[in-house]
Amino acid sequence: SWTNLRNSELKERAARVIPGGMYGHESTALLPSDFPQFFQRAEGSRLWDVDGNEYIDFMCAYGPNLLGYRDPEVEAAVQAQMERGDTLTGPSDVMVTLAEQLVGMLSHAEWAMFCKNGTDATSMATVVARAHTGKRKILVGRGVYHGAAPWCTPGPAGILSEDRGHIVYYRDQDPQSLADAVKAHAGDIAAVFATPFRHETFRDQSEPDPTFAREARRLCDIEGAVLVLDEVRAAFRLSRDGAWAAFGVRPDLTSIGKVIGNGQPISALVGAENMRNAASSIFVTGSFWFSAVPMAAAVATLKIIRESDYLERLERMGQLLREGLAAQAVAHGFGLRQTGPVTMPQIFFADDPEMRLGYFWTAAAVRRGVYLHPYHNMFMNAALSEADIAQVLQATDEAFDLLKAQDRTQLPLEHPPVRGRLERAALLSA
């Protein structure tokens, strides 16, 4: 049966020695209070919190877990490289192999540079683009997440307006808005940033849109600006190639993060031939950017991406989950908005402006061993089986039953800060 005593104890200890008790995207401050903050282990599709509660996990460490936690082939590569050494005076030979493989897999990429986090890769993209063009402006979708550096962090505290003095915002995924922004800053544009589809918190997702992709490419070509596709979140969950490759659209630079080491710390910036000189000219580095273990993990992960049916399994399980939930929602009389690609589900209740239904339902699922998220898109992983999805749907059915039995007007607004976030999200989408 469910307990969270150890989690509560740890949260109290953390509050004394970690600012705010926790920070960043893995803070549970905005989540229903039942959501555990601390975990002890994971295996395949499963995750255990510090109280020993077991979950089928749809967050996948906010993306990195693509093949299942502790995938045996990736683990073997990690162990073997650990025996030889990790962070050395120079990179190991595995770095060259990894770059060759990534370049071989991504049809628009001719070179690769490796770093640790998605923010490293997106920030490096701004530097390469400015080095290439000699121009200043970076166009980004309003409210779109590209990381937590001063030029892009969503939190304003400690950030100067000068830090964003040359950041220009357009309406995400809107070709006309992008065209207007390009026109307004013509002659001074270094880069246009885009994501493969809309995947922001607290918002419905979009599908990848060929019209927007082609227009972004066309505008960049006319202007001589660098097109940067930020695939930190979506890489290899839409395609084994770049997300816009199917549309015939080749970005100049692509930032990739999260999944390439199946959880090991590594990200990458890859680019087209025309970006090679600029990429060679900049100075970027980090003490751990050349560590061999994450690169060995990435070589093993990319091999599975190339050779297995992981993507088709993600799609099949995602489809099963979406159809199952849709049927349950109808049976219980709720409207459910399930948006974006099935491999990266985002789920909201209709007529739930303050998210009281969504918070209650996801918390009920968590107490039944299914880790769903009320406001962030989720991630499928290749270890999920049909039996897992059946177990998930059993739990969500009970959660719908429980929600239906509630008096809607009495459901708590569990976390008042959510209201502020919602208002901000509404402003951003306006």
- Please identify, using beta-carbon distances, which residue of 53 and 117 lies nearer to ligand PMP: 117
Interaction between residue 119 and ligand PMP (CB under 6 A): yes
Q: What is the DSSP letter of 272?
A: -
Shortest gap between Cβ of 69 and ligand PMP (angstroms)?
A: 18
Interaction between residue 146 and ligand PMP (CB under 6 A): yes
- Please identify, using beta-carbon distances, which residue of 44 and 261 lies nearer to ligand PMP: 261
From the list 100-108, 117-125, 180-188, 310-318, the region that binds ligand PMP by CB under 6 A is 117-125
Interaction between residue 253 and ligand PMP (CB under 6 A): no
Residues 255-274 contacting ligand PMP, CB under 6 A: 257
Shortest gap between Cβ of 63 and ligand PMP (angstroms)?
A: 7
Q: Which residue in 411, 405, 403, 429 sits closest to 336, CA to CA?
A: 403
For residue 393 the two structure tokens come to 């749907």
Q: What is the DSSP letter of 306?
A: H
Q: Which residue in 235, 173, 181, 177 sits closest to 200, CA to CA?
A: 173
- For residues 192 to 221, the per-residue mask of contacts with ligand PMP, x marking binding by CB under 6 A and - elsewhere, is ---x--------------------------
Torsion of CA 366, 367, 369, 370, to 10 degrees: -20
CA atoms within 13 A on the CB side of 315: 9
Shortest gap between Cβ of 353 and ligand PMP (angstroms)?
A: 25
- Please identify, using beta-carbon distances, which residue of 140 and 389 lies nearer to ligand PMP: 140
Q: How far is CA 12 from the centre of its chain?
A: 29
- Binding-site size for ligand PMP (CB under 6 A) equals 12
For residue 343 the two structure tokens come to 């491999």
Interaction between residue 230 and ligand PMP (CB under 6 A): yes
The residue number whose beta carbon is nearest to ligand PMP equals 118
- Please identify, using beta-carbon distances, which residue of 332 and 421 lies nearer to ligand PMP: 421
Torsion over CA: 149, 151, 152, 157 (sign) = positive
Rounded Cα–Cα distance for residues 426 and 394 (Å): 33
Residue type, 329: A
Q: How far is CA 368 from the centre of its chain?
A: 25
Interaction between residue 117 and ligand PMP (CB under 6 A): yes
Q: Which residues bind ligand PMP (CB under 6 A)?
A: 117-119, 122, 145-147, 195, 230, 232-233, 257
